[in-house]
Amino acid sequence: MPRVSLTVNGKAVTADVESRTLLVQFLRENLRLTGTHVGCDTSQCGCCVVHVDGRAVKSCTILVQQAEGADVKTIESLAVGDTLHPMQEAFRQNHGLQCGFCTPGMIMTAVDLVARKGHDLDDKTIREELEGNLCRCTGYHNIVKSIAAGAKAMAATTTAQAAE
Ligand code: FES
Ligand code: FES
């Protein structure tokens, strides 16, 4: 069995895996990081989005071996203790979820979006960027609202941290 070594949520991980193991399987089954969900078998839903070297990636679309040496972050990395990440808090405050199944992927996509496109996001941009994330419950309106609010809140957090 091939051996893989990568960093997941700041911790070094090494494991022997079957060569067909997907990154999402490795995260959920080997590491028990079950916040990353599997919502389809066609790479369409985006419930499995994580960050690989700082970019949003559908973790069902790559083998864990392809993440050799990478820095992987999952939804579990965002909150600090009991304090939610500003994007998580924005989803909570703006009712950006119902069943919550799509939410980890939505939030990881949203955090990546802010990193790429900044803190002032219009609805059109957010909707275009959510093309790869499907939600069966909310009708998207509150998800878009949450992401716009979360992007602004992330700017405030960054400014506050810089002032400390
Ligand atoms: S489980 Fe990865 S896109 Fe649906
Ligand atoms: S909140 Fe249920 S699938 Fe999106």
pLDDT digits (tens, 9 = 90+) for 108-146: 999 999 999 999 999 999 999 999 999 999 899 999 999
Please answer whether residues 39 and 103 qualify as being in contact, where contact means their C-beta atoms are separated by less than 8 angstroms: no
**pLDDT digits over 77-109, tens only?**
999 999 999 999 999 999 999 999 999 999 999
Sheet holding 3-8, edge to edge: 11-16, 3-8, 71-73, 49-52, 55-58
Question: 26: burial class by Cβ within 10 Å (0-12, 13-18, 19+)?
Answer: buried
Cβ distance 13 to 27 under 8 Å?
Answer: no
Binned at pLDDT 50, 70 and 90, residue 162 comes out as low
Q: Is 110 in the pocket of ligand 1 (CB under 6 A)?
A: no
8 A C-beta contact, residue 106 and residue 96: yes
CATH 3.10.20.30 fits 3-77, yes or no: yes
Which amino acid, one-letter code, is at 32? R
The per-residue pLDDT for 156 is: 84
Atom of ligand 2 nearest to the CA of 106: 4
User: What are the domain boundaries of the chain?
Assistant: 3-77, 86-163
Percentage of the chain with pLDDT > 70? Answer: 96
Report pLDDT for 1: 86
Q: Which of 23, 3, 7 is nearest to 63 (CA)?
A: 23
Question: CA 49 to CA 37: how far, in whole Å?
Answer: 8
Q: Mean pLDDT across the stretch 23-45? A: 98
Mean pLDDT computed over every residue of the chain: 96
162 Cα to the center of ligand 1, angstroms: 36
| Ligand 2 centre distance from Cα of residue 109 (Å) | 15
Q: How far is residue 107's CA from residue 41's CA, in Å, rounded to a whole number? A: 20
Fold of 86-163: DNA polymerase; domain 1 (1.10.150)
CB 19 within 8 A of CB 84: no
Q: Which residues make Cβ contacts (< 8 Å) with residue 131, sequence separation at least 6?
A: none
Please say if the pLDDT value at position 164 is more than 70.
no
Per-residue pLDDT reduced to its tens digit, 45-74: 999 999 999 999 999 999 999 999 999 999
Task: Return the pLDDT at 73.
Answer: 98
Task: Examine domains 3-77 and 86-163 and report if their fold is the same.
Answer: no
| CA pair distance 110, 130, nearest whole angstrom | 8
